[in-house]
Amino acid sequence: MSISAMAHADLSNTFSPYVSAATAYNSNLFLLQNDQAALANLGTTNMSETYQAYAAGVNMNWQLSRQVISGHAEISQVNFNTYTGMNYTGHDLALKWDWLVDSILQGDVGVSDKLTLAPFLYTKKPLANLLTTRTAFINSFVKINNRWQIKLGADTTHTINSYTTPPNSQQYNDINIDSYNAGFRYITPKGSTFDFLSKVSNGNYPEQLTNLYTYTQYDNGVTFDWIATGKTKLSGRLNYTKRDYPNSQQNDYAGVTGRIAADWFATSKTTLNLTIYRDLNTYITSTSSYDVTQGVSAQAIWLATDKVTATLLGKHETIDFQSTPIRTDELTTASLDLGYQLFRKTKIDLIAERGVRHSNAALDSYRYNSVMLGLNNAF
């Protein structure tokens, strides 16, 4: 559950400021398997924690003739009740320009900078490791005719871990990824889009003494946004992915990756979503440098009344670590979000979530229950 999940308000006019506050409880914040693991990592068998999160920010949507500039700026504060050493001030900044030149050239360019507390999935202890993620991107489309466009793009992502104290330093997972893509877009008469793209990405770890985990990844496939019927929409991407590790070829990967989502607007008050996916997730552990995660999720959104909304989400994943010995995990989560529109621009959310992970690796299974109560107000 995202700490700032309820901190965003809808865009309104040019600038839309908002504030939010939330209190949360998690029965197993550090994702520990049992009391023995908790005693070893925390010095106590009590694995639960409560915390409070506050945020203030502004969304922007500014149209200048045929150009659109959008973005948001947010500052947040998270305070933990027991592990106060992890209290932190975070931020989330983003700016994007959707540009248009005449009627044949268009695209977007943008940057973002986000600071948040890193997840505890692999550390399993109260490390105040702040994760900075900086991105920049540019995409351009050149019109050939009313149906076809040429697409060119590039993006870069830099991820930086703040915790540098041995033996738990996380800097070895700092990563830079530079990507370039090119291809064609087809637009159907009804407005659906199909992008046929080739993409190459170079990943490197600047804080590592060797280039053991430096890689080059090639993705060739299609990205689509298809309006199938008046009530059904399909979107996603499907690629053949090849990742090469020139200095550790035993880690090479070749196979299908992608994500396909189907949205069915069953009634004016009910929306159903089904998503299947298979992705590579990069994170270096003592035995692997990435995992292959494949899963399925189902979501139902019901507008019960003009003021009450219920969102039910279930997800099941199989995570295969590319390691020796072979490690396979299974993760199942379910959540319920009940929203109440207290006033026109004030909303209350109550979110409950349960997660269960089974692993064939020692001490990597866990289960947790969490609940969050939040208030969001837009101005």
pLDDT per residue as tens digits for the range 364-379: 999 999 999 999 999 9
Query: What is the β-pairing status of strands 253-264 and 327-343?
Result: unpaired
- pLDDT at residue 331 is higher than 80: yes
The CA R_g of the chain, rounded to the nearest whole Å, is: 22
Q: Give the per-residue pLDDT at 191.
A: 93
CA dihedral 212, 324, 365, 282 (to 10 degrees): 30
Average pLDDT of 179-198?
96
Residue 265 has pLDDT above 70, yes or no: yes
Residue 11: pLDDT band with limits 50, 70, 90: very low
Instruction: Quote the pLDDT of residue 312.
Output: 98
Report CA torsion sign: 142, 144, 149, 151: negative
pLDDT higher than 80, residue 5: no
Confidence of residue 222 (pLDDT cuts 50, 70, 90): very high
Q: How confident is the model at residue 13 (pLDDT cuts 50, 70, 90)?
A: low
Query: Has residue 9 got a pLDDT over 60?
Result: no
The predicted model scores a pTM of: 0.91
Mean pLDDT on 41-59: 97
Q: Write down the pLDDT at residue 1.
A: 45
* Top-confidence residue, 7 or 343: 343
pLDDT bin (cut points 50, 70, 90) of residue 10 is very low
Report the percentage of the chain scoring pLDDT > 90. Answer: 88
Mean pLDDT of the chain: 94
Q: What does the pLDDT average to over 246-254?
A: 93
